[in-house]
Amino acid sequence: MIMIFITNMRSMNWNMIIRKFVSIALATVLITGLVSACGNTASPSAAPESADKVVNIYSARHYDVDAKLYTQFTQETGIKVNVVEGKAEELIEKIKREGKSTPADLFITVDGGVLNNAKQSGILQPVESSVIEGQVPAALRDTDNQWIGLSTRARVIVFSKDRVKPEQLSTYEDLASDKWKGKVLVRSSTSMYNQSLLASFIALDGEEKAELWAQGIAANLARDPEGGDRDQAKAVVAGIGDVAIMNTYYVGQLFNSDDSEEVKVAEQIGVFFPNQETTGTHRNISGAGLIKHSRNKENAVKLIEFLTGEKAQALFASENFEYPVNEKAEWPELLKSWGAFKAQEVDFAEFGDYNKTAVQIMNKVGWK
């Protein structure tokens, strides 16, 4: 028998024998593991790790102060901030396309009308936070808390200190009168700032009066619109025009520029808040909206709470010369020197509601 067995083994394929033994060994290990797992049902598996300490922002704001604030937030909380920058409307469309798979947690932009467009697009959800409600007045939040104001900016009249006295100035409407013929400077009608300014007049006074104002401005321009707000200030100092319509924070940036020539420009212009006896000075808002499909909702709300806190709000003001939404935040000396002002009482959402009409009026009257 033994001799027969040995003879048979000699005739067998040893590679095949080895493969069979390995297969049997692996099967034994797998079966043992399954039995062990089944016998262990009373003991729960290890708890999943907590959500990533991250918040993802799609932002249409492009200011150095924002990056500085995000760094401070990370240092204080350990939550990393990732930012994708772009144009506001393009970011809204991107979020809509991405749907439930979007990585975005917050949408941040600089215009009340655009924030309302984001809300109407269905990409946002309400922000629930008693901290935020205590830091940001209701007038600077969406009525449904789908976006929260982060800062405001006033659109004022800037004038040449050499050629214009403050007492000669009064209202936006006055700039459309004959006395300012060939003396007004403003950027083009494609500027969202100007579109929202005109939209606010439509909301306050109706289309007819708004059109008459836009027609008057177009007729009084010192040159065809060109450049940004700072370019209007430079043109005032160069004598091209006597007055310009621009946002206050650009004046602050000129004063604090590394370019000595820009500082000289700032020193030669004055800031005037129009319509203080009537409807108030136009202001617009920067804000943050919580994305409907946010994966890091808690972290996103924490970031909004941080950005609307006193310390962060003071930095918005001192670094970028925007007005804080938190009334307890400290103003820098430059903003204090301009003084407090009466602001328009217009729902920021109306900037979006009347945007199309405003653009049509500007095209009609020849505001290039």
- Helix H, strand E, coil C: the string for the chain is CHHHHHHHHHHCCHHHHHHHHHHHHHHHHHHHHHHHHHCCCCCCCCCCCCCCCEEEEEECCCCHHHHHHHHHHHHHHCCEEEEEECCHHHHHHHHHHHHHHCCCCEEEECCHHHHHHHHHCCCEECCCCHHHHHHCCHHHECCCCCEEEEEEEEEEEEEECCCCCHHHCCCCHHHHCHHHCCCEECCCCCCHHHHHHHHHHHHHHCHHHHHHHHHHHHHHECCCCCCCHHHHHHHHHCCCCCEEEEEHHHHHHHHCCCCHHHHHHHHCEEEECCCCCCCCECEEEEEEEEECCCCCHHHHHHHHHHHCCHHHHHHHHHHHCCEECCCCCCCCHHHHHHCCCCECCCCCHHHHHCHHHHHHHHHHHCCC
Which of the four pLDDT bands, split at 50, 70 and 90, describes residue 30? very low
Render pLDDT for 97-115 as a digit per residue (tens, 0 to 9): 999 999 999 999 999 999 9
Which of the four pLDDT bands, split at 50, 70 and 90, describes residue 29? very low
Query: Both 68 and 171 in a single domain?
Result: no
pLDDT at position 16 over 60: no
- Which pLDDT value is given to residue 24? 38
Query: Both 160 and 271 in a single domain?
Result: yes
- Which pLDDT value is given to residue 13? 44
Question: For residue 231, is it within any domain?
Answer: yes
pLDDT at position 60 over 70: yes
- Which pLDDT value is given to residue 52? 79
C-alpha span between 114 and 258 (Å, rounded): 32
Q: Residues 29-35: what's their mean pLDDT?
A: 34
pLDDT at position 247 over 90: yes
Query: Both 360 and 232 in a single domain?
Result: yes
Question: For residue 327, is it within any domain?
Answer: yes
* Cα distances (angstroms) measured from residue 229 to each of 98, 148, 191, 365: 35, 26, 10, 21
pLDDT at position 32 over 60: no
Render pLDDT for 261-275 as a digit per residue (tens, 0 to 9): 999 999 999 999 999
- Which pLDDT value is given to residue 231? 96
pLDDT at position 41 over 60: no
Question: For residue 29, is it within any domain?
Answer: no
Mean pLDDT of the chain: 88
- Which pLDDT value is given to residue 118? 97
Query: Both 221 and 125 in a single domain?
Result: no
- Compute the chain's Rg from CA coordinates: 31
pLDDT at position 22 over 60: no
Query: Both 257 and 131 in a single domain?
Result: no
Question: For residue 8, is it within any domain?
Answer: no
242 and 164 in contact (C-beta within 8 Å)? yes
Q: List Cβ neighbours of 328 (8 Å cut-off, separation of 6 or more).
A: 135, 310, 313
98 and 266 in contact (C-beta within 8 Å)? no
pLDDT at position 206 over 70: yes
pLDDT at position 356 over 90: yes
Which of the four pLDDT bands, split at 50, 70 and 90, describes residue 51? low
Q: Residues 24-43: what's their mean pLDDT?
A: 35
pLDDT at position 163 over 60: yes
Question: For residue 28, is it within any domain?
Answer: no
Query: Both 201 and 160 in a single domain?
Result: yes
C-alpha span between 202 and 10 (Å, rounded): 101
Query: Both 258 and 172 in a single domain?
Result: yes
Range of the domain at 324: 54-152+284-335
pLDDT at position 196 over 90: yes
Render pLDDT for 317-327 as a digit per residue (tens, 0 to 9): 999 999 999 99
Query: Both 289 and 232 in a single domain?
Result: no
Q: Residues 340-364: what's their mean pLDDT?
A: 96
Q: List Cβ neighbours of 190 (8 Å cut-off, separation of 6 or more).
A: none
* Cα distances (angstroms) measured from residue 37 to each of 23, 28, 29, 48, 138: 21, 14, 12, 18, 56
- Which pLDDT value is given to residue 342? 97
Query: Both 194 and 326 in a single domain?
Result: no
Say which residue, 23 or 360, is predicted with more confidence.
Answer: 360
- Which pLDDT value is given to residue 271? 97
Q: Residues 204-210: what's their mean pLDDT?
A: 96
104 and 118 in contact (C-beta within 8 Å)? no
pLDDT at position 2 over 90: no
> Any idea what the Cα angle at residue 295 is, between residues 291 and 301, rounded to 5°?
60
CA 34, chain centre distance (Å):
53
Structurally, the chain folds into a number of domains equal to 2
Question: For residue 305, is it within any domain?
Answer: yes
Identify the CATH number of the domain in which residue 120 sits.
3.40.190.10
Calculate what percentage of the chain has a pLDDT beyond 90: 86
C-alpha span between 302 and 127 (Å, rounded): 11
Query: Both 171 and 124 in a single domain?
Result: no
Q: How far apart are the first and last CA of the chain?
A: 108
Query: Both 234 and 323 in a single domain?
Result: no
Cα-Cα-Cα-Cα dihedral of 9, 10, 14, 16, to 10°? Answer: -60
For residue 7, how many other CB atoms are within 10 A of its CB?
9
pLDDT at position 199 over 90: yes
For residue 234, give both structure tokens. Answer: 């430079």
Question: For residue 41, is it within any domain?
Answer: no
Give the predicted TM-score (pTM) of the model: 0.83
Question: For residue 39, is it within any domain?
Answer: no
Query: Both 180 and 328 in a single domain?
Result: no
